[in-house]
Amino acid sequence: MSLHPVLAALQHHLPAGCVLTDAEDLRPYECDGLSAYRRLPLAVVLPETIEQVRAILVTCTEHRVPVVARGAGTGLSGGALPVENGILLSMARFNRILEIDVPNRIARVQPGVTNLAISMAAEPYGLYYAPDPSSQIACSIGGNVAENAGGVHCLKYGLTTHNIQAIELLTMDGERLSLGGPALDAPGYDLLAVLTGSEGLLGVLTEVTVRLLPRPHTAQVVLAAFASVEAAGAAVTATIASGIVPAGLELLDNPAIRAVARFMDTGYPEDASAILLCELDGETEDVSGQLEQVCNVLRAAGSTSLQVSRSEAERLRFWAGRKAAFPAMGRLSPDYYCMDGTIPRRHLSRVLNEIGRLSGEYGLRICNVFHAGDGNLHPLILYDANQPGELERTEELGGRILELCVAVGGTITGEHGVGMEKLDQMCVQFNPAELEQFHAVKRAFDPHQLLNPGKAVPTLQRCAELGAMHVHHGQLPHPELERF
């Protein structure tokens, strides 16, 4: 087989060892956290300088070869899935923290730095980076920006888009752009917002400036049990209506509670139909006042038992069950499929009931563990890929759940992204004129459509691809990570 001309050009621009072409070297890059989709790229490139990244993009543009940028590869929607006959551009070697600017409460970092590393570097100054996706020990900040990653504390602290202040990027034709800055706003259009969550379709990040927040002095969790999921849902509404914005507000239904109980000792009441975990953080005086108020609200909402964490160890124990919920499902079922729809909270009971009904209709068990405070659902459909037809039924059920989310005024993805996975449902959420507006924005950045083609926004002609986060026999693509 003769060498693709782009490879010779790339080898010319990059040091030896920075261009991988052997199938066995490419294998680790064939998928991201959504392992149902696998593809080998033409080559993987591992540049070490921004000038090399620029050379790669210019070379690929000249040869009209597509490029997919990749951070840590922990994404859950196939956003970093390679493109056949394309180049996979790994930004893993850009892993330095460039500056912690304490007076301005920002950190300048390279895109391959992990989410958690930023908070660790800021810790000596009493600061941290707030968004905390479950994969935070491994996921890169570049990937967080590309996906607009969330986490458990979004309700109070927002998503990635609320917590970054500037980015440097290269467009596909090698132009360097600087968006935002150390000031709180910038002239011109808010392109920082457009790039955040653009799933690698508009540019390649080379630097990120994140906002740092003061570490809360105190954090405490209330664990409240309820006799029905409806009552727990109503308690979520009552808590927020009472004028408090908790740092986190999570719900587990009974199947999830029991799955966790089989996995570890968390102290969750196993007979409860649902539990809520409500975290409050901030200044000690504020937290104690809010705790009192939240306990009163939860009691009035019909909580059958209430526990307040009395120590940091107990707070972490309460959270441990929530964080172990996904691996616990892996023990309950050979495979599961994680959904990510968001709905207006007032429809929580209705949607959960309908999900229960669909579960019966399809003969597939569903557990619910989710960010109740933001209305961000993560129904887990349990299935067995070895049973003929079960995978297809699961994907169909998943699609119907997302369509239900859209029908009540919600969205098909709250924090995992569209990627390869939800292209079909994008056609449900957006009309052709809206999709065409997205494509027009894409062309303004990338006229030849070479960056991560075929992801995030479906073509009008073809709204037909489908996928899933498949977990086979409890084996997540990154088993070392907590998933929540």
Partner 1 sequence: MDQQALLIEQVQAAARARQAVQIQGGGTRSFYGRNATGTPLETGGHRGITSYTPSELVISARAGTPLAELQTVLAEQRQMLAFEPPRFGAATTLGGAIATGLSGPRRPWSGAARDFVLGVNCINGKGEYLRFGGQVMKNVAGYDLARMLTGSLGTLAVLLEVHLKVLPAPQREVTQYLECNAADSIRQCGAWTVQGLPITAACHLDGQFLLRLSGTDRGVAAAVQRIGGETLDASNRFWQQLRDQRLSFFSTRQPLWRLSLPPAAPLLPLEGSWLLDWGGALRWLTGTPASAGEVRQAAHLAGGHATLFRHGDRAGEIFQPLPPPLLALHRRLKQAFDPSGILNPGRMYADL
Considering the rule CB under 8 A, would residue 124 count as an interface residue with partner 1? no
Q: Is the dihedral of CA 365, 369, 375, 381 positive or negative?
A: negative
CB-side exposure of 110: number of CA atoms within 13 Å?
17
Tokens of 315: 């707070």
Angstrom CA distances, 315 to 58, 150, 218, 280, 319, stand at: 51, 21, 11, 11, 6
Which lies closer to partner 1 via its Cβ, residue 158 or residue 269?
158
Considering the rule CB under 8 A, would residue 452 count as an interface residue with partner 1? no
DSSP code at position 39:
-
Considering the rule CB under 8 A, would residue 137 count as an interface residue with partner 1? no
Which lies closer to partner 1 via its Cβ, residue 385 or residue 406?
406
Q: Would you say 276 and 321 are in contact if contact means Cβ atoms under 8 Å apart? A: no
- Closest distance to partner 1 from the beta carbon of 426 (Å): 6
Give the Cα separation of 230 and 454 in Å (integer): 40
- Closest distance to partner 1 from the beta carbon of 210 (Å): 14
Among 91-99, 287-295, 356-364, 390-398, the segment contacting partner 1 (CB under 8 A)? 287-295
Q: Would you say 119 and 100 are in contact if contact means Cβ atoms under 8 Å apart? A: no
Which lies closer to partner 1 via its Cβ, residue 7 or residue 159?
159
Give the Cα separation of 43 and 3 in Å (integer): 11
Among 11-19, 263-271, 306-314, 370-378, the segment contacting partner 1 (CB under 8 A)? 370-378
Q: x/- binding map, residues 244-283, to partner 1, per CB under 8 A?
A: xx------------------------------------xx
Q: x/- binding map, residues 176-195, to partner 1, per CB under 8 A?
A: xxxx-xxxxxxxxxxx-xx-
- Closest distance to partner 1 from the beta carbon of 35 (Å): 21
Q: Which residues partner with 451 through β-bridges?
A: 67
- Closest distance to partner 1 from the beta carbon of 377 (Å): 10
Considering the rule CB under 8 A, would residue 371 count as an interface residue with partner 1? yes
Q: x/- binding map, residues 396-435, to partner 1, per CB under 8 A?
A: -------------xxxxxxxxxx---x---x--xx--xx-
Q: x/- binding map, residues 70-109, to partner 1, per CB under 8 A?
A: -------------------------------xxxxxx---
Q: Would you say 380 and 337 are in contact if contact means Cβ atoms under 8 Å apart? A: yes
User: Phi, psi at residue 447, to the nearest 5°?
Assistant: -60, -30
Considering the rule CB under 8 A, would residue 475 count as an interface residue with partner 1? no
Considering the rule CB under 8 A, would residue 443 count as an interface residue with partner 1? yes
Considering the rule CB under 8 A, would residue 342 count as an interface residue with partner 1? yes
Angstrom CA distances, 110 to 71, 99, 135, 165, 217, stand at: 11, 10, 18, 14, 29
